[in-house]
A and B are shown apart, each in its own frame.
Chain A
């Protein structure tokens, strides 16, 4: 597997001295570019520590990327046995690069009779000839101590070690020597005492059992003339070979975005001012059954509905079961999985070292490049309390996702806010923390949701009821009563009482309205009658006035005619 980018930034590692990349994920970042070019490196470790795998993976990577063949001298096991041992790795049997590794069986001297002093000129002559013939790019001397231990005196061993180192420097071909540590993490074989001084770099591989789980670590003990990180770093060996869980040099580089992804929970987007910010690390904590997994499924399903791609990492539960449960509340997760829009990764946590889990997850993210990752529950692999390993691994995961702009949602089993931090410690790394809990009222449990923190987002601190139904998941409207948020039956009862009171208030208002309207109508009717009487009286008055004026006119006319008659003018 090729991984020449920084695990946090995705950028190439910073160099230093002239180096050859190993292609081992994480190691080239730890060593700032790989192993010394043109010099020897010593790999020390107990039985089964992974020395031979490290060496072979390195030279096969070189053969695959640069095309240079490698020389592998096996002093401990038969070449055929070594090939069989590594046949299960992606880069081994059948791989064209692996075929460019030239194996030499170096066990011959172990079966020979020794009769006095000798040196390793024959080995150097053979290596020189092979380098010349094949233009070899790497030399591996696997278990060289088996040959060195045949030399009778410590001075002879030291002399030959320096001759080999000088040969490597002269040919300019980088070399890997593997050697045993006594009792796993104990002292190196005496043959390697001088070797540690003669070589340019020493890498020590270890393995130990912690809480019943076997974990591996490595450390660059020495790297002459080169910047490197010498912390003890976990690594795993899986189908891809060795992968080192290096967390970077402590300078996280994150892709920031103001884009929002829907939470899939009606009402929660509003609480979070639009949803989860892209590239966010979200922690959902809660007791068993509080709907942590459901929130994860909601996120994946809603995002996939919108065209995003997701990765569902299920621990101790199958993705199929999670998808089936999600289907029961109307989510399309099963279809998204079937379409490949949401990929799945299922693992058992019982025998899983935290780093093995996170490295497997890293590989899946690299392979599928999802924009959303849900880990459910992350607490399953982080139960090793008071140890740095799980926290480092989680920090690495968060940085890894953020560097790629991947929105990460992890769930963690916890009874309360404080415990969530103790169990997973992811809460300190999370941008948003959603706490789920139960609230027991009126003899029933109801799910409650609160946003403990949401960096950079204006959000409500209100505790709300999470309601799960056949048509999905939603946050109930906040219903306060008696100084607290009411949930479940209490909320329903209070809602019913409030609705009844409202109805009665409406009825009373209606009655009052009708009474007043009637009063008004009656008054208006009376007013109309009075208006009519008024108009009639006024009309009568006008007629009376008019009659009076006519009578006066007639009277005046009559008086005139009488006067004129009397005066003789009229007959």
Chain B
């Protein structure tokens, strides 16, 4: 991915929050996939907020995160959710690119 694509992806995202459930296999898998995706489009890992619903259920309640793993991407007032372990990353990449 070239530099212009990275800048565009970063500019399009206000916040990235992933909701996981401890070290559940699907959560671990989601983190791995997500790290790869962010790296591929040049978003630094520190921009990703990780919420463990088992230790911080209040955050899940505030965000309305019903399933884990799930990724919430905010652009302005709009929030887009991606549910699952991100095995299939095409939709996510298309959204971020």
Write the residues of chain A forming the contact surface with B, with a CB cutoff of 8 angstroms. Answer: 104-106, 108-109, 111-123, 125-126, 128-130, 147, 150
Chain A residues positioned under 8 Å from B92 (CB to CB): 113, 115
Determine the chain B residues whose CB is within 8 A of the CB of A108 once the complex forms. Answer: 64, 66, 81
B24 on interface, CB distance cutoff 8 Å: yes
> Hey, which chain A residues are within 8 Å of B26, CB to CB?
116-119
Contact call B67/A130, Cβ cutoff below 8 A:
no
Question: What's the minimum C-beta distance from A397 to chain B, rounded to whole angstroms?
Answer: 47
Nearest CB to that of A104 among chain B residues?
B64
6 pairs of A and B residues whose beta carbons are closest in the complex? A121-B21, A116-B87, A112-B81, A116-B84, A125-B53, A125-B57
A118 CB contact (under 8 Å) in B69, B89, B91, B95: B69
Contact call B88/A119, Cβ cutoff below 8 A? no
Contact partner of B57 among A111, A118, A128, A147, CB < 8 A? Answer: A128
A120 touches B84 (CB 8 A): no
**Extra contacts besides A115-B85, A116-B26, A126-B57 (6): CB < 8 Å:** A106-B66, A114-B82, A118-B26, A122-B66, A125-B61, A126-B66
What string of 1s and 0s marks CB contacts (under 8 Å) between B19-34 and chain A? 1010010100110000
Sampled A-B contacts (17; CB under 8 Å): A108-B81, A109-B83, A112-B81, A112-B82, A113-B91, A114-B84, A116-B29, A116-B30, A118-B67, A118-B70, A118-B84, A119-B26, A121-B67, A122-B68, A126-B53, A126-B60, A129-B61
- A111: chain B residues at CB < 8 Å are 81
Question: A283 → chain B, closest Cβ, in Å?
Answer: 59
* B58 on the A face (CB < 8 A): yes
- B24-66, CB under 8 A of A: which get 1 and which 0? 1010011000000000000000000000011001101100111
A129/B66 contact (C-beta < 8 A), A113-B91, A114-B83, A117-B84 known: no
Q: CA separation between A122 and B58, bound complex, in Å?
A: 10
Q: Please report the C-alpha to C-alpha distance between residue A185 and residue B95 in the assembled complex, in whole angstroms.
A: 42
Give the complex CA separation of A119 and B29 in angstroms.
13
Cβ of B96 within 8 Å of any chain A Cβ, yes or no, is no
B interface list, Cβ under 8 A from A: 19, 21, 24, 26, 29-30, 53-54, 57-58, 60-61, 64-70, 80-89, 91-92, 95
The smallest C-beta distance from B38 to any residue of chain A, in angstroms, reads 15
User: Which listed residue (A104, A115, A147) contacts B82, Cβ 8 A?
Assistant: A115
Residues of A within 8 A of B53 (CB): 121-122, 125-126
Residues of B with C-beta under 8 A to A128: 57
Closest to B53 in A: A125
Q: Quick one: given A115-B89, A129-B58, are A122 and B84 in contact (CB under 8 Å)? A: no
Contacts of B84 in A (CB 8 A): 114-118
Tell me the minimal C-beta distance from B48 to chain A in angstroms: 16
Min CB gap A140→B, angstroms:
15
- B91 near A112 with CB under 8 A, answer no
Assembly CA distance A106 to B85 (angstroms)? 20
Q: Assuming the A-B contacts A108-B81, A122-B70, are A116 and B86 also in contact, with contact meaning beta carbons closer than 8 angstroms in the complex?
A: yes
Set of chain A residues within 8 Å of B88, measured between Cβ atoms: 115-116
B61 surroundings in chain A (CB, below 8 A): 125-126, 129-130
**B66 to A117, Cβ gap below 8 A?**
no
Known: A109-B81, A122-B19, A125-B53. A115 touches B87 (CB 8 A): yes
CA distance A108 to B63 in the complex (A): 10
Contact B54 A121 (CB under 8 A): yes
The CA-CA distance from A114 to B24 in the complex, in Å, is 18
In Å, the complex CA distance between A457 and B81 comes to: 78
Contact check, B83 vs A125: say whether CB atoms are below 8 A apart.
Answer: no
Residues of B within 8 A of A122 (CB): 19, 21, 53, 60, 65-68, 70
Please give the distance in Å from B29's CB to the nearest CB on chain A. Answer: 8
Please name all residues of chain A whose beta carbon is closer than 8 Å to the beta carbon of B54 when the two chains form the complex.
Answer: 121, 125
CB B26 to nearest CB in A, in angstroms, measures 5
A118 pairs with B68, CB closer than 8 A:
yes
Given A129-B58, A130-B61, A119 and B86 touching (CB < 8 A)?
A: no
Q: With the chains together, A126 CA to B80 CA distance in Å?
A: 19
| Closest A residue to B67 using CB positions | A118
Q: Which listed residue (A106, A118, A125) contacts B60, Cβ 8 A?
A: A125
How far apart are the CA atoms of A109 and B82 in the complex, in Å?
9
Tell me, in angstroms, the Cα distance from A105 to B64 when the chains sit together.
Answer: 8
Q: Which residue of the partner chain, among A109, A117, A123, A129, contacts B85 with CB atoms under 8 Å?
A: A117
Contact A112 B70 (CB under 8 A): yes
Contacts of B60 in A (CB 8 A): 122, 125-126, 129
- Closest Cβ of chain A: how far from B65's Cβ, in Å? 4
Bound state CA distance, A126 and B58, in angstroms?
Answer: 7
Set of chain A residues within 8 Å of B29, measured between Cβ atoms:
116-117
- Given the complex, which residues of B lie within 8 Å of A116, measured CB to CB? 26, 29-30, 84-88
Report the bound CA distance from A166 to B89 in whole Å: 33
